[in-house]
Every structure is written in C-alpha cells, then in structure tokens.
Structure 1
C-alpha cells in the first residue's frame, strides 16, 4: 500500500515529536512514525523495536497506531505496556532492541502527547527527526512486510534492578513520594515495598487528567502537597515525579526544595568519590554554584545545552558518569545506563541520605548563597521564538557583552548572570537569572526585560508561577 504523510511542522521538535492531540497530533501521525522510523530501523540493519506508553488518555490509541506502522515494516515489536519512560529505556537495554519509542506527553498539559525515540541505544533527535519528517512526506519507506508483536511485562525486573544499587546506611528513613498521577504509579508501589524504611505514596493512581496537580516538579505550587505531607509526618525527605517519571523533584526534611542544580551537587559529591576527576555535565540554566562545587569536589564541570537527548549524547562523548538539568532530568552512567530516570535517581538520593550524619536540610543550608529567579517561561510563537533569540544575541554581541551561546544566550556580568533561551518543548521562551545579592538580581532581571522589550515582547512574570523547561 502506498504511504506518504506530512507532519505538522511544529510537532517535529529538537529532541522529540510533540503536539496537541486532535489538532497537531493524531493517530495518523503515530502510524507514520511507526512506518517511517520502522523503516529507519530496518535500513540500519535492525529488526526489534520496543514500545511503551504513559498514562495519558490518548496514549493507548497512539501506541496502537504506532505499533501498526512498525509492524508494517516487518519489525518484531515488543510492547512493554504502560509505565514510566525510563522503564521503556531499560527495556530497550535488556531486550537488546534496535530501536525504542515511548508515547508520552511528559510534563505538558493533558491534551498534549508525543514520542521519545532512540535508535541503537542512542537518542534520535535533531537532524534525525527532521529527516524522519522528510522521509514520511516523500513516502520513502521500506516495502510493506508483516512483522510480529508480543507483550512483555518487565516491571518486576526493572524494579529489582532499581533497588540493586541501594546500599544504605544506619538511618532508617521516612520518605514521602508524590507520583503526581504519573505513569510510574504501579512501578513506584512495587519499588517502595522493596526498599527499607517507611514510605508514604501520594497520588499513586495513574490518571492522565492529573486531577490533583500538574505533574511538573519544577513549579513550586505542584510541590505544595508533598511539602505539607513531609512536614506533617516529620519525614526525612520527599520525592516527586513529572508525568512520565524521567524528571525528579526533591524536598528536604523541612519541606525546603532542592532545585535541580542543588540536587546535582549532592549526587556529584557522592559519585566523584568513585570517579575522581570525572566530567559532570549540567545545562545552561544551572547555578554557577554547581559548577564551582563540582570543581571543588575534584570533578570537571561542563556546561551544555538543555535537552535530554543532547545531554545524553554529550555524556557518551565525554565518558561522564553523571549529568543533570535544572528541570530535574538526572542521568547516571555510574552503575546505570546513562538515561534519565527519576525512580533510579530517587533510589540514589535515598542511599546518600541514609548514610548522612545530619538531616538533608543541613546540606541545603550550607550551600553557598546566591539569589535567583526560578526557571520562568512566557509565551512566544514557535516561529517567532528563534528569531527573538537571534535578535537578542546580535544586540549583545554588538555591545561586547560576555556571553555564551551554547544554548540561547547566557550573559555574565559583575552582578551574576542571566539566561534567555527558546524552549524545545513548547511555544515559550525561558528566562533565568542569578545574582550575588537581591540588588544584583533586580538589575539582571531588568536586563532581561530590556532585551525582550527591544524585541517587542511583554515583561515576563518572575514570580515562579510560570516555571518550566
């Protein structure tokens, strides 16, 4: 049967495929991804594709269409079913798959969905995704051939592997977990039964409408229930997930939030004990404190572009044992497989805290103090946002500013630094600033505002209610 399909241009993102279901993303798109990516796998000499899906209401239909497309390429498709994205990544490793596709909308609103893809164990992103769109539009696929489908339940094996690296210490922990109605619910309930200590699980039920709060642990209001429960139960810490559990949020025993860069400091100090001199990677949104602390712990800090695919590729290139993003993606190659996994990161955090002599709040309180905005995002049309970034960078270069253009623009000044970049997941620009003092921070925020006004954009909300990545 002749095949050709055009994707909505805005759905082909830098490191995944995403859209609004019924508007810019449909089952036809899912079939086309299966048919076209399946052809890419076959042409690379591959035969096996692993597929999983999250808890969104649209995910089962999209997964079914994706599988149909892949089977039409003659692939042997293994369905691992509903679960967190990292379980799909784990499945692709243990099943020695040639490709893997996760149907997930991650942290985006309930009516959004998308596809995260790997080829031969590596992220499939950037030019590869754009080429996928071109192949689909041209109908450039392998001849139709009937493949096979089988269901494999890997949940038990995945959970056993998660707990394997928990060594622990003398402290018996009380932990609150907020699943946030994410697709990790069933796996999380299995995990806590195998971990020592006392565990309280909130919002365990998988529910793609996210009835209690939105599953984005970078937004303070989404952590309010977790913080209140930690305080009420005098717990040692709390852990939260995003919608597909590849991002983590952590709060200490007082309910104080450990942001992504602070969490990475905690993990880096531990990992560097076994990997002295290793490269630790963080994205451009991370605090300067992180890069300084990694260096003082004997590591080599490396600033890189935001995006799970981009970070994973840089890890492989540099041999880094650990990387992280402000958004809560934490990547372990130390004892793990290099992919972002909030459940595994949670286990490693518990392992560290169980060995600590003092509460987790003491670690947070003793970090060098700066003052910063949260990650702030504000709407900007997909077609306009990259143009704005070009305008801002051109003006700053002309001024002779001290800037890094690894990802957007990060501007260093005597007051601290500020960042402006285009999101790869939504029609937004993302801003962040960190100052040595409150007065420094106010000047940095005004510098951001000035650049936006010069590009005819409104003043952003720095309150934290629009945080994201």
Structure 2
C-alpha cells in the first residue's frame, strides 16, 4: 500500500494503482473501526456519494461491501456533488459520510473525502485510519444498504431558502463536473435566464480543467458573459465545493473580493459578525470587514482547517482564495459552490446593482496569483523557516501558516503546500512597481536559502 495516499485533507491517489479493491477494502474496514473506537460513535451510519469518474462505481462497490461487513448501515446517494453528499449526512441524520471524488485532479485520479458528525476528517485523524490498517485493528458485524435519491430534496431545500424578485441572466459553467447535475436546473427554477456551458458530466474534462482558480479555465465563461451581456458568470470545480465568479464586465472576482461582497451583506443583517479567511487573502478583506463593523480572523490555508476555525469562532462565514466558501449564516457551515453562487444572485437581486457597482469602492491593488515553486518535501519547511527568521527581525510578520511579511504598502507570503512538494507564494501591493520590488526581495531570499539548503 502506498502510504502517500493518506493526505492532509483526504485520501487520494491514482485509482487503478493506489486505490484498487483490496486497498479500498482495508480503508473501509479501518474507517468503520475509527468511527467505533476512535470517534466513539456507538451506532455509526454512513452516507456514500460518488462523482462521475470511471473508477468511482468500482470504488463504491468495494467500499460499501467493506463497511457492511464491518456492521455499518450504508446509504447510497448515487452520483452527486460533494456538498450534496454533506447535505445528505445532515438531512438524513447519519453519523458521517464518504464522498468518492477526484475533485479537480486529472481523470486517472480518485479519492475519498471523509466526514464524521459535522467535522471533516483531516491531518492526524487521517493518519489514525492508516495506523488502524497497519495494526489490522478491524471490527466486524452485519450492516445494511439502502438507496436514497437526495438531489431533489437538496434542490427543494434551496428553493425554500431563497426568494427572487428579479430575473437575472446567468451563465453557468459546470466544467463537465457534477455541478451540471444540480446548478443549472435549480437556478433556472428560481426564474432566472440560464445559459449553460459544459453541463454534461464527463470525467475526461474535454473542454477545460474544472478548477476556477486558474484564469485559463475561465476564458469560455468570460467570453460568454460578455457575448450575452449576462449579469454574472458562475463556475465550479469538479465536485462543486468551490465557486468562481465573473462579474457583468467579464472580470474575475477572486476569493477575497467575493468574501468582501458576502461579508458586507451579512453585516447588514448581523452587525459585529465574525469572518474567517485564509492567509492568502488580500488585506483589503480584513480592512473592509473592520470598516463595516465586523471581526475578521486570518487563518491557515486548507479547507478542513478553515471549516474547523469557522466552528471554533462561531463565525458567520469563512472562505479561501481557492473558492471554498463556508456559510454558517443560514446554512450548515460546509463549503458548497452552488449555494455560494445562489448567494451571489441573491445579493444582485436584493441590491438591484451589478457586482462591478457593488465592489466599485474597493481600492485597487496589484497582486500576483498564487505562485507554486517545486521544492522537495524534505527541504520546503526548512526554507520557509529560514525566510521567516530573516524577515521577522526586519518587518512585521504573521506566522500562522508559513510567513506573511507586511510592508505597510504591500505584503508577501511564503508557505509550504500541505498537499504537494511545492512552496507557495503570493504578493500584493498598492502599485505595480512596489509589487515587483516586494516580489523580488522575497524571491531573492528564497533562492538564496534554497541554494544553501542544497
């Protein structure tokens, strides 16, 4: 068994090699044991969902068989988005769930996202499942299997949660992922004019990769929004737990700007509300929340970490640059791209304004996208530590996740990826000239310490 499949946030690998039936059987038995012995759930019951990848059906069969043999009642909710699987856990009152999905990874990959109660299983908890396999500490029993159609229930829930007065023109790019099964239909049923792009689920992702954080993947959506003079464009990743938004002018609204849009409207209803954003987000978000009477908390990057912080702080909303948006305000606190997209439509409907107007007072800054630099796992933490040590004695720094160096007129971030052998950097400044200066200063130090480490 390739132990590298046990990642920070999920279990993931090349389906035919790393997640064959034998390995899935071990994971299923280990998770059953984890629920009973570690999570101490007396009578565990699980929802199992899956995406459209060719390997997902096979993995489902092997997984459900292992869980049933371990005494777990299994509810099969079929092919759906990851958030609908989470919804099923809540709505059907089960003690946990497993979503079989490769998300936005290449077609040959697949993975398992695990939930116990309302919490994602991540970090050390995933390693405990690996340890159970190594100890062969399994349980046995006689479980059961039932099939439930949950997508119509989810759509009804959304329809009851929102009311619209205006008809909006909306372009929806499902990127050939599972969002196509849900998003266009439910948005159309609100009475909006929906223009669909790539709604047909296809695990080969023939049109573009389903990752809305990459500008290239949004080109078709931007073009269609401009061409049709739409009010908004909405894109999703492969399993629809992330969202990408294009405004009426064809401009990408990145995660931190989207958080500004959401937080302003929540603060009108909930003065003083708390918000959580990851360390990659612009200082504009943190300043804006403060200016509007709220509290903004910066936290570590990683959807499971952000979701947990949302709970710990009893915040109304949490989000990441990557497009994960966690609404505890009027929702369950997990990341749901379709729900987040509808919240954008609600803001447009209630304000009577366009996104470009709603964000027109946000100061202009110059920022890089996330920059990923290959760096071996055994070196990356040491390099980040050296960079942090150097800048701490010279500038104000924030070290909750890597090091974020604050310059007054800009900032730079250096952190180790939790999932890959790379260093992640991002830079922002009040002018293009200053952006290049900050970027060069920090990158020169990274290069210097990289050479010394090797």
Q: Say which is worse superposed, 72-81 or 427-436, in terms of deviation.
A: 427-436
Are 2:241 and 1:241 equivalent residues in the alignment?
Answer: no
Q: Say which is worse superposed, 190-199 or 148-157, in terms of deviation.
A: 190-199
Q: Say which is worse superposed, 383-392 or 308-317, in terms of deviation.
A: 383-392
Q: Return the alpha-carbon distance in structure 2 between the equivalents of residues 38 and 336 of structure 1.
A: 28
Q: 2:22 aligns with which of 4, 21, 28?
A: 28
SS at match of 1:38: helix
Question: What is residue 134 of structure 2 aligned with on the other side?
Answer: 137
SS at match of 2:276: strand
CA contact (8 A) 1:51 1:100 kept: yes
Query: Which blocks of at least 5 consecutive residues in structure 2 are unaligned?
Result: none
Give the C-alpha shift of residue 411 in structure 1: 1.0
Q: 1:41 aligns with which of 32, 35, 41?
A: 35
Alpha-carbon RMSD: 1.8
CA contact (8 A) 1:231 1:255 kept: yes
Once the two structures are superposed, the pairs formed by residues 389-468 of structure 1 within 5 Å of their partners are: 389-397=384-392, 399-456=393-450
SS at match of 1:430: strand
Q: Say which is worse superposed, 82-91 or 377-386, in terms of deviation.
A: 377-386
Give the C-alpha shift of residue 25 in structure 1: 3.8
Q: 1:328 aligns with which of 281, 302, 323?
A: 323
Q: TM-score, normalised by structure 1?
A: 0.92
Q: Say which is worse superposed, 38-47 or 209-218, in terms of deviation.
A: 38-47
Question: What is residue 161 of structure 2 aligned with on the other side?
Answer: 165
Q: Return the alpha-carbon distance in structure 1 between the equivalents of residues 422 and 58 of structure 2.
A: 28
Question: What is residue 182 of structure 1 aligned with on the other side?
Answer: 177
Are 2:3 and 1:9 equivalent residues in the alignment?
Answer: yes
CA contact (8 A) 1:57 1:209 kept: no
Q: Return the alpha-carbon distance in structure 2 between the equivalents of residues 379 and 207 of structure 1.
A: 30
Query: Which blocks of at least 5 consecutive residues in structure 1 are unaligned?
Result: 1-6, 458-469
Q: Return the alpha-carbon distance in structure 1 between the equivalents of residues 439 and 160 of structure 2.
A: 45
Question: What is residue 152 of structure 1 aligned with on the other side?
Answer: 148
CA contact (8 A) 1:415 1:441 kept: no
Give the C-alpha shift of residue 23 in structure 1: 4.2
CA contact (8 A) 1:42 1:73 kept: no
Question: What is residue 119 of structure 2 aligned with on the other side?
Answer: 122
Residue by residue, what CA displacement relative to the aligned partner does 1:297-318 show, whole Å, maximum 9, x if unpaired?
Answer: 1110000111111111111111
CA contact (8 A) 2:172 2:184 kept: no
Residue by residue, what CA displacement relative to the aligned partner does 1:162-215 show, whole Å, maximum 9, x if unpaired?
Answer: 22222234x320000000011121122431331122011110011111110000
Give the C-alpha shift of residue 334 in structure 1: 0.9
Q: Return the alpha-carbon distance in structure 2 between the equivalents of residues 110 and 393 of structure 1.
A: 37
Give the C-alpha shift of residue 369 in structure 1: 1.1
CA separation of 1:80 and 1:201: change in aligned 2, threshold 3 A = same
Give the C-alpha shift of residue 383 in structure 1: 4.0
Q: 1:101 aligns with which of 98, 102, 120?
A: 98
Q: Which has the higher contact order (CA 8 A, sep 6+)?
A: 1
SS at match of 2:194: strand
SS at match of 1:184: helix
Question: What is residue 65 of structure 1 aligned with on the other side?
Answer: 62
CA contact (8 A) 2:319 2:325 kept: yes
Higher helix share: 2
CA contact (8 A) 1:420 1:430 kept: yes
SS at match of 2:411: strand
Give the C-alpha shift of residue 252 in structure 1: 0.6
SS at match of 2:428: strand
CA contact (8 A) 1:117 1:124 kept: yes
Q: Return the alpha-carbon distance in structure 2 between the equivalents of residues 383 and 10 of structure 1.
A: 14
Runs of 4+ off more than 6 Å:
none
CA contact (8 A) 1:370 1:435 kept: yes
Give the C-alpha shift of residue 273 in structure 1: 1.5
Count of aligned pairs between the two proteins: 449
Q: Return the alpha-carbon distance in structure 1 between the equivalents of residues 383 and 4 of structure 2.
A: 17
Question: What is residue 74 of structure 1 aligned with on the other side?
Answer: 71
Q: Return the alpha-carbon distance in structure 2 between the equivalents of residues 194 and 84 of structure 1.
A: 19
Q: Return the alpha-carbon distance in structure 1 between the equivalents of residues 308 and 228 of structure 2.
A: 41
Q: Say which is worse superposed, 27-36 or 213-222, in terms of deviation.
A: 27-36
Question: What is residue 364 of structure 2 aligned with on the other side?
Answer: 369
Q: Return the alpha-carbon distance in structure 2 between the equivalents of residues 288 and 91 of structure 1.
A: 36
